[in-house]
Amino acid sequence: MLVTAAEFTLLPSLGQELMALAGLILIGLGSILAFVAYLCLSILRVMRFLDSDDEQSPPRY
């Protein structure tokens, strides 16, 4: 949204380019954060699967 706002609301200038760069940096950081969170959840699920005792209780989903 920041990139789109910089494109249409600001006059062509260095400020427009910096605003678009800030938007791209935020998009990149958000993508990295989402990837790390998904990786952590996947690792936690595998650890929970390996740690579970199948004979005492039914599997939980």
Segment 1-59, tens digit of pLDDT: 777 777 777 778 888 888 888 989 999 999 999 999 999 999 999 999 888 766 666 66
Structure tokens at 22: 């800030």
d(CA 14, CA 19): 9
Q: Note the pLDDT of residue 59.
A: 62
pTM of the predicted structure, to 2 decimals: 0.64
